[in-house]
Every structure is written in C-alpha cells, then in structure tokens.
Amino acid sequence: MQRYSIFSLARNAFSNHQSWSKAWRSPPLKNHYDVLIIGAGGHGLSTAYYLAKNHGITNVAVLERGWLGGGNIARNTVTIRSNYMRDESIPFYVKSVELYEGLTKELNYNLMYSNRSMIDIVQTYPKLREIKRRMYHMDLYDSTYERIETDEVRRRIPPLTGGGPDSRFPIICGMVHPQAAVCRHDAVAWSFARAADNLGVEIHQNTEVIKLIREDHNGRICGVETNRGIIRANKVAVVVSGHTTSITDTIGLRLPIKSFNLTAFVSEPVKPIIDVVVNCPDIGVYLSQSDKGELVIGGAPDPGQSFRRDIKQHVFENAVCSMLELFPAFKRLKLMRQWGGTLDIAHDATPIVSKTDIPGLFVSAGWWGGFKAVPAGGFTLAHLIANNEPHPLIEPFSLGRFRGLDFVLEAGTTTAT
C-alpha cells in the first residue's frame, strides 16, 4: 500500500499528482469466496478489514449495489460518543471510541478525528434523572458524564441565548461527555476500504444482491444471486443498514427491526462559534460546527416507517423550531443542503450483531447511531464470522435476546445519534 505522508505528498506534487496509485483495485468477480459481505458501508468495510487483519481470512468479497461509502456512512452527522445507559452497551461504545482514536495512524489515513466533547442541554427533570443514572453507569466503564451549571453551559456555548427562566423549557443544567468526537465520514469508509484491499479483500461496486441462496439439502447459506450472476460462499454477512429486511426477506427470515428515515441539514459556513457537539434531548435537536464552518444539524427520526431518503416538511420544521428556541440568532442563517438516510431500528434501540438460525448467515443491523460503532462493529462481527462464536462485547446484541426477552433498552439515549 502506498504510504500517505508529507513526503509522498511533496513527491507527488512534482508530477502534478498524476502518479498516485489507486486506493483500491477493481478485480474481476470470482464465483466463490470464503466470506461474502453485503454492503460497502462503514460496517461492511471495517468487518472485511478486521477479518483479514485479525483472523487472516482474505478470500473475502464486499458487494456494494452502488458506490463504496454512498449509504448512511455518507449521510450521517459524524457524532462519536459512548454515553449510553446499559451495562451491555457502554463497554462496546467505549471500545469503539478507543479504536477510533488510533485509526488515523493504524490505517495511515487522515480521518480528521477531532475530540470535541459533547454537552447535553437538560431542560426537564425526567431527563435529568435519566442522565444522572447514565452518569453513574458510565463511571463504571471509564466513560465520563459531568454536570455543569447553566452559566457554565452558556459560557461554553456562546450562541445559546434561549432557554431562559421564562421560556417553555428553561435550561436546568448541562452534562458534558468529554470523550465525544467528530470525524470525517467519507474518510472512514475510504480508509477501511484501502486497508482491506491491501490485505487481499476484493471490493465490488455496482453489484447488487438480489437474493440469498440456501443449500437444498441442509438449508445452509451457500451464496447470493446478484445483478452480475450467482456468487457462492461458505459464509455471508448482511451488513446493509436500513435495507436488511429487503435481503433477509428473500429467504423468509423475519427480523425484529423496522426501517425509518433520519435526516440532517447544514447551514451556510460561518466563523467558528461552537467548538463542542451540542445535544438537546428534551426538544429533539443536536448540532455541531464542521471544519468548513457549516452548522451540521440533526433531529429525531421520522416516526413513520419508510425507506425514503428525503425529508418531510413537518420533521424539518420540528428540528428547526427546536433549534431556534435555544439559538434564536440562527434564524438569520441560510440552510444549504438537507438529506436523509434509512435506519433499521430494533425494538429495543440496540444493534443486532448475530448469527441467525440459518447456518452460515450473519447479520449486523439495527444501527441507529452506527457511525460511532463502525470500528467496534467490524471488529466484533469479524470475530463472530471467524470463530462462529460472539466476541464478549456483542454477546448481549444477539438475536437470542428477543427470544429470551433480554432486551437492552437504549431508546432514551439516542437523540444525538
């Protein structure tokens, strides 16, 4: 793999940047692999990388119906955090943040990882109670949540001028999560793709999986049918975030997930005004400022199930009105772009990283706020595929929890995805 550095940058400047080698290959499609991964998003690509790096499994193909990194990984608001509620979840997200911190070096790719910290604006007492519970749980797992008083909240977030004593929801206090960060989303997909390709993994874009195929005699998964023909494999992982059911339905496998639309939008660029991620869980909006100066703003998912990727007017209005309650000065900002993505959410708002009842078939789904989970999701799914046994961090995330009613309820912790 060509190393990226100040020296390679300078060397390539002499040839007008015409001599860079391709970041990944486009090899011919074979008709058999040890492992097929459906979906070249963050999770599919990181799984492929860790399969090759940690388990020496390199006869792997990642199949992507569009272009690499064009799904939710390209559409998210890049918040990385580990402030979850349950004992089952926190260690997983702590591990993910840890892996993120080392990725730029490990993958030799500038991910523009920026440890910003996140401030939750608390405006109701039920939320304060919930957040205090989280604080105590997180304390056990080296993830931090610290209370700060309203004056300090306003000092750290200068444009926060709303939420005064006479407002609908006066600000009670703030909770700071210092480990929170932001990171360039495309770079996450591209860096994992490049590193996986370098270890021998094949990435096939414009290759849509139409259905899964099982052996007639034992029901085991044996491959997939694609728009480029049938590809056989010993193991298949469905890692298609938002579209999981449209693939698992092809063999009658029903999963306890539903697909919803989540949207975001950005303002015109302005001078630096906010250097933390601001989350307002009581009114359902969160924002941060990108390196280019745009405010990146997100709200809650549209509660109606759908596969749409645009934004409904009332969902947009809810998020904007909530933001203006706390940041009235932002009403003069022009919005530049909006977009959406499809999330598949499990009933308990916790991901599913699991074997299925069909031998050889694995799923990684239910990623509501799955960008932060890309490294740990891939790391643990690769372990599961390689060993046929879950990594301890994802044991609670198996499909078995729906049979045993061992839910990992995280719905209250997801406003800032």
Ligand X SMILES: Cc1cc2nc3c(=O)[nH]c(=O)nc-3n(C[C@H](O)[C@H](O)[C@H](O)COP(=O)(O)OP(=O)(O)OC[C@H]3O[C@@H](n4cnc5c(N)ncnc54)[C@H](O)[C@@H]3O)c2cc1C
Residue number with CB closer to ligand X (330 or 371): 371
Sign of the Cα torsion 14, 18, 21, 22 reads positive
39 binding ligand X? (CB under 6 A): yes
Sole window of 88-96, 195-203, 236-244, 407-415 interacting with ligand X (rule: CB under 6 A): 236-244
- Map residue 118 onto helix, strand or coil: strand
Residue 215, φ and ψ in degrees, nearest 5: -65, 140
78 binding ligand X? (CB under 6 A): yes
63 binding ligand X? (CB under 6 A): yes
Which residue in 153, 257, 262, 300 binds ligand X (CB under 6 A)?
262
279 binding ligand X? (CB under 6 A): no
134 binding ligand X? (CB under 6 A): no
177 binding ligand X? (CB under 6 A): no
- What character string, x for contact with ligand X (CB under 6 A) and - otherwise, covers 197-226? -----------xx-----------------
Determine which helix (DSSP H) or strand (DSSP E) holds 192, and give its type and residue range: helix 185-198
Which residue in 51, 73, 353, 358 binds ligand X (CB under 6 A)?
73
Residue number with CB closer to ligand X (222 or 262): 262
Cα angle: 194, vertex 104, 243; to 5 degrees? 55
Q: How far is CA 305 from CA 235, 257, 259, 308, 345, in A?
A: 30, 11, 6, 9, 10
Computed over its alpha carbons, how large is the radius of gyration of the chain?
22
C-alpha–C-alpha distance, residues 276 and 265, integer Å? 18
Residue number with CB closer to ligand X (123 or 364): 364
360 binding ligand X? (CB under 6 A): no
51 binding ligand X? (CB under 6 A): no
Q: How far is CA 71 from CA 59, 66, 220, 297, 342, in A?
A: 24, 8, 29, 19, 9
Q: In angstroms, how far is the first alpha carbon of the chain from the final one?
A: 34
Residue number with CB closer to ligand X (42 or 159): 42
C-alpha–C-alpha distance, residues 123 and 278, integer Å? 13
Determine which helix (DSSP H) or strand (DSSP E) holds 121, and give its type and residue range: strand 118-122
Residue 239: CB minimum distance to ligand X, A: 6
Sole window of 27-35, 102-110, 114-122, 235-243 interacting with ligand X (rule: CB under 6 A): 235-243
Sole window of 10-18, 89-97, 141-149, 362-370 interacting with ligand X (rule: CB under 6 A): 362-370
- Map residue 72 onto helix, strand or coil: helix
Residue 277, φ and ψ in degrees, nearest 5: -85, 125
C-alpha–C-alpha distance, residues 98 and 80, integer Å? 11
Short-list 200, 203, 153, 183, CA closest to 76: 183
Sole window of 58-66, 125-133, 148-156, 392-400 interacting with ligand X (rule: CB under 6 A): 58-66
C-alpha–C-alpha distance, residues 104 and 113, integer Å? 8
Query: Using CB under 6 A, which residues numbered 147 to 176 contact ligand X?
Result: none
Which residue in 264, 276, 278, 283 binds ligand X (CB under 6 A)?
264
Residue 180: CB minimum distance to ligand X, A: 10
247 binding ligand X? (CB under 6 A): yes
Which residue in 33, 57, 60, 64 binds ligand X (CB under 6 A)?
64
Residue number with CB closer to ligand X (241 or 354): 241
Which residue in 33, 50, 65, 349 binds ligand X (CB under 6 A)?
65
Using CB under 6 A, list all residues that contact ligand X: 38-44, 63-66, 70-73, 75-79, 208-209, 239-243, 247, 262-264, 298, 340-341, 343, 367, 369-372, 417
